[in-house]
Copies of this chain bind each other. A is one copy, B any other.
Amino acid sequence: MAPPREEPAGAPRPAKGALTPRQQDFPRWYQEVVARAELADNGPVRGTMVIRPWGFAIWERLQAALDGRIKAAGAENAYFPLFIPESFLRLEAEHVEGFSPELAVVTHGGGKQLEEPVVVRPTSETVINSYFAKWVQSHRDLPLLINQWANVVRWELRPRLFLRTTEFLWQEGHTAHATEADARAYALRILRDVYVDTMERVAGIPVVTGHKTARERFAGATRTWTCEGMMGDGKALQMGTSHELGQNFARVFGIQYADEQGVLQYAWQTSWGVSTRLIGALVMAHGDDAGLRLPPDLAPVEVVVLLVRDEGGARAAATQLVDELVAAGHRVRLDDRVDTSFGRRSVDWELKGVPARVEVGPRDLAEGIVTVVTRHDRSKSSVPVGGATVAVSEALAATGAALYDEAAATLARRTTDVVDPSQAAEAAAGGFVRVPWAALGTDGEAALAAQAVSVRCLQTADGSLADADTPEEDLVAVVARAY
C-alpha cells in the first residue's frame, strides 16, 4: 500500500502558485483547495481519508447544527456496533444486492479465523432493526426514534476526498412508526426541519428537493426523499436523503407491535442520513478561485486579526482588537507570524475561507485606521480602529445571506426547463434541467444514464414535493450530471 500521495499541506509549500482556476479544471481546483486549505489528506489505505483539524472543526459545527435539530425532532442518540454478521445483511434481498459489492469483510479476529465472517457496517439498518424487534412490543413503544453518529465503510473504486471515500463519518437515523402516514410524515419532517434547514440556513446552500426514481432509490426503501445541491460547475451533489422503508425491514426482522385492540401489526419505518460529504458541498458550492468561502456559522474562525508588522504599537492594537471581538461573541484568531510575509498569510486565510480579516499595521494605525476585508466579496474597507468590531460584526452578519443569495441566483440561472427529453442531455452540460417525467420515463432515464446524466429527483411542476396521491404524469424530473 503506497503512502499518501498528496503534498503534505502543513509542510512548507513549494513555490506558491495560485489555485487552478475553476473554469479551467474544476476537479483539480477542488483537490487543490482541499489540500491547501488543510481540510483533508488521503489515508494510507486506498479511498480512506484523514480529516485535518480545519476540516474537522467545520464538521464539528455542522454536527452541532444537525444534532440540535435531530433532537428537536424527538430522536435520541445511541450507538450500535461497527461489525455486523454477514447473515444479517442477506435477510433483506434488495439491501444486500445494493451493498454487497462495497463491503469490507473481517475474516480474522483475535488471531483466529472467524466461524462467520463479519462485515464492517456500510449502513446500520440490519443491526439496528434486529434490536427494534426486541424493543418494540406495544403501540405505546412507538414512535421509536433513534439516531447515531458513526463511521461507515463502502469500498470505493473511484474515491474523491469527502465526496466518495471508503470510510466516511455520518449520522444515520432509524425510526419505527405505527402507520405508513406517520412514517412518511417523519421522513419529511427530517428532510425539511433538519436537512433543508441546516443546508440552507446554516450552510447557505439552496437545495432542490424531491423523491428518487426506482433506479436511484436506496436499496430496501419504498421512497427516497433527497436534497440536491448545485455545485460551482453546475453539477448536482446529493447532500442528504430520507427514506421511507415501508414494512420491508419490519417483516424481515419481525418488528411487530400490539395495536390498541391487541392485534399484532408490523411497524412502518424510516432511515435518513447525511455525511462528511457536506464538507465537499461547502467547498464546491461556495468556493471561488481564491479558495474556500465559509458561512460564519460553520467557520472554525470567523475573523482573523492579522498583525502586518510588529511596529508602532501595532501588536498592542491587534491584541486589544482580538479582545474586543471575543467580547462581542466572535471566534477570533490572532495571526502574529510576522516572519511570514503578509501576502502569503492573507492568501492562506482566504484559502481557508475565514469570513473576515482585519489587517492591523503601523502605517494605517498612524492614521487611526485598520483595514477590514470580507472574504465572500473580497471587499476591503478602511475603518477607524474604534469602529472595527462593529464593522466586523456587520460584515459577518451579511456574509451568510450573501453566500446563500449568490448560490440561489446561480441555481436559478443554471436551471432550464425543456419539454423534449432529447434536449435534456445537452442542456445538462450547463446545470440542472427540468423535464416532464411523463415525457422522459424510465427508458429516457436509462438513455440519459448512458450519457452520464441522471434523474436527481422527481417533484411537482412548482418544485414542491409530491403528495402521496400526486399522479405520476404531473411530476417533473430534475436531471443533471452529478458527483
Contact = CB atoms under 8 A, between A and B. Distances in A.
A408 interface: no
Interface stretch (A80-88, A261-269, A444-452): A80-88
A1 B81 contact: no
A116 B85 contact: no
Contact of A79 (B45, B50, B87): B50
A1 B44 contact: no
A185 interface: no
B81 A50 contact: yes
A15 interface: no
Given A44-B85, A137-B11, A141-B10, A52 B77 contact: no
B50 A131 contact: yes
A120 B106 contact: yes
A395 B45 CA distance: 53
Contacts of A104: 83, 106, 108-110
Given A8-B134, A10-B135, A116-B1, A44 B81 contact: yes
Contacts of A50: 78-81, 131
Copies of this chain, whole number: 2
A12 interface: yes
Contact of A45 (B3, B84, B105, B108): B84
Interface size class of A (residues with CB under 8 A): 35 or more
Given A1-B116, A110-B102, A110-B155, A43 B134 contact: no
Interface in A28-64: 41, 43-45, 48-53, 56-57, 59-60
Given A87-B1, A110-B101, A120 B120 contact: yes
A382 interface: no
Contacts of A167: 81-83
Interface string A129-141: 0110011011001
Contacts of A77: 53, 56-57, 60
A107 interface: yes
Contact of A169 (B79, B101, B156): B79
Nearest to A276: B79
A49 B81 contact: yes
A109 B111 CA distance: 19
Contacts of A103: 108-111
A391 interface: no
Nearest to A115: B1
A120 B106 CA distance: 9
Contacts of A45: 81, 83-85, 118
A151 interface: yes
A100 interface: yes
Given A1-B87, A51-B80, A56-B77, 5 more contacts: A10-B134, A10-B135, A45-B118, A81-B167, A151-B151
Interface of A: 1, 3-4, 8, 10-12, 41, 43-45, 48-53, 56-57, 59-60, 76-85, 87-88, 100-111, 115-118, 120, 127, 130-131, 134-135, 137-138, 141, 146, 150-151, 153, 155-157, 166-167, 169
18 contacts: A4-B134, A8-B134, A10-B134, A12-B138, A43-B127, A45-B81, A45-B84, A50-B78, A50-B131, A52-B78, A53-B77, A53-B78, A53-B146, A57-B77, A82-B167, A101-B110, A105-B107, A105-B108
